[in-house]
Amino acid sequence: MTDNLAALTATQLSDLYASGEASPVDTTRAVLDQIEAHNPTLNCFCLIDADSALATARDSETRWQKGEPLSAIDGIPVTIKDLTLTKGWPTMRGSRTSNPDAPQDEDAPATARLREAGAVLTGKTTTPEFGWKGVTDNPLTGITRNPWNPERTPGGSSGGASSACASFMGPLHQGSDAAGSIRIPAAFAGIFGHKPTFGLVPNYPLPGHIGNLANMGPMTRTVTDAALMLNVLASPDSRDSMAAPASAQNENYLNALDAGIEGVRIAYSPTLGENGWADDDVAAAVAAAAKILSDLGAIVEEVDPDIPPVRPIIEVIWAAADAWLVDQIPADKRELMDPGLVAIAEEGRKLSVTDLVGAHAARVELGNRMARFHETYDLLLTPQMPLEAIEAGKNVPDGRDMDQWVDWCPFTYPFNLTMQPACSVPCGLGSERLPVAFQLVGRHWEDALVLRAARAYEKAHPFAAAPGYV
């Protein structure tokens, strides 16, 4: 056991709080020290509230001393992504068009559930402007960097969360994912990230421009911590009319987490039909992961789901959404925005109603085909990202003949379109000694199985940690 409390998982800390061997105050101080030491280089946070965090930690410490914690994560440091409402703090969304002097007067459901559980909110993590792309830089706070190599991006849009998590700035981090924004940064930073089934975690205000593509979920250094956090996040909130009913939100994701995967049917698809690709080192690591899952008792078969090209679907929906979003910004402020976002919005304005309806029709058919596929297979395994983390401050890698971030994340957005649960699981290092990961996708509402399979792999092949931070 390390002397540095910031290096411990939420699960370990909860056990130590219960035994009296550690305190929420000491843990919070250790995490704040970690933030002070490494955030100037990595730029993970756009807001840090040490005074509030320590006050919450002191209250938690009193509860643990009385044997009356609010939950298993009482006193555990957690961060909130800067797209998510947090009472008393501004929500800047990485944009110079936002008002820094306008703190929110209510919590989003995710924030509210974490606060009610006694978690210690340390601050807000960075995002690209309005979460529009798969890397994290924005006109307001600049470039967020990867702990494995600060010259590389941690991915996006939850890049601040992934960078903070990988550098031990707390064990629990809230992310959101509308086209890969939990899984891209989880893969690039070598942490675990879970995009739940749409509706499992209530979301308010649901982003009007992307609607039911958007999901809230946990980003952690272990699968167990993600399950622990999901137990809190997957709680009803009447403000989200599209959320699952309470009867679908009463599962304890820890209960069968270590039950193994004997007999689980897994389809291994290296390229997702004609939709994806992977560099040789990534492909080899994912193939090795498939072999490990097979050795653990799963029935693994290499097979592609019968799905059409997916990129044309997301391109239309995403461009139309960005056009709507930018149109909400006063014209005289648009020059303050990320030029890439403004350019995508301009493309979106050229689309017709027929284009958009056609994309949504294709989306429905994609979901139907995946549902039929899961009549045979319990899980789908793919690469998560086809390459290692790209250069920080760029939207596309050099020398790859790519125009947009969607060019290099073909395995993420299909499962936002289908609304299925999907997680990113670290599975080693690539040729540049940066993390690579595979993705597990499950049927609607079978988040527990997705987590269980990820946990089985993690036990057999523990995740590596970014060197030099603890």
Q: Which amino acids are annotated catalytic?
A: 81, 157, 181
Among 162, 156, 222, 149, smallest CA distance to 189 is for: 162
- Give the whole-angstrom CA distance, residue 344 versus residue 351: 11
- Give the whole-angstrom CA distance, residue 222 versus residue 225: 5
Among 408, 150, 385, smallest CA distance to 281 is for: 385
Other C-beta atoms lying within 10 Å of the C-beta of residue 323: 18
Among 103, 63, 68, smallest CA distance to 86 is for: 103
| Strands of the sheet with 379-383, listed across from one edge | 45-48, 120-125, 77-81, 172-177, 215-220, 192-195, 422-429, 435-442, 379-383, 265-268, 299-302
Distances (CA, A) of 339 to 321, 335, 464: 16, 8, 36
Distances (CA, A) of 102 to 49, 79, 384: 16, 20, 37
Element (H, E) at 219: strand 215-220
- Give the whole-angstrom CA distance, residue 310 versus residue 440: 18
Q: Which two tokens stand for residue 222?
A: 């272990």
- Give the whole-angstrom CA distance, residue 340 versus residue 359: 22
Could you tell me which residues come within 8 angstroms of residue 213 by beta carbon, excluding any fewer than 6 positions away? 178, 179, 198, 317, 416, 417
Neighbour-count burial of 272, counting CB atoms closer than 10 A to its CB (0-12 exposed, 13-18 middle, 19+ buried): buried
- Give the whole-angstrom CA distance, residue 231 versus residue 253: 6
- Give the whole-angstrom CA distance, residue 307 versus residue 273: 7
Alpha-carbon torsion, ordered 360, 197, 193, 267, to 10 deg: -80
Q: Which two tokens stand for residue 273?
A: 């039909």
24-42 vs 50-66: helix crossing angle, rounded to 10: 150
The residue whose two tokens read 């992504």 is 81
- Give the whole-angstrom CA distance, residue 470 versus residue 466: 9
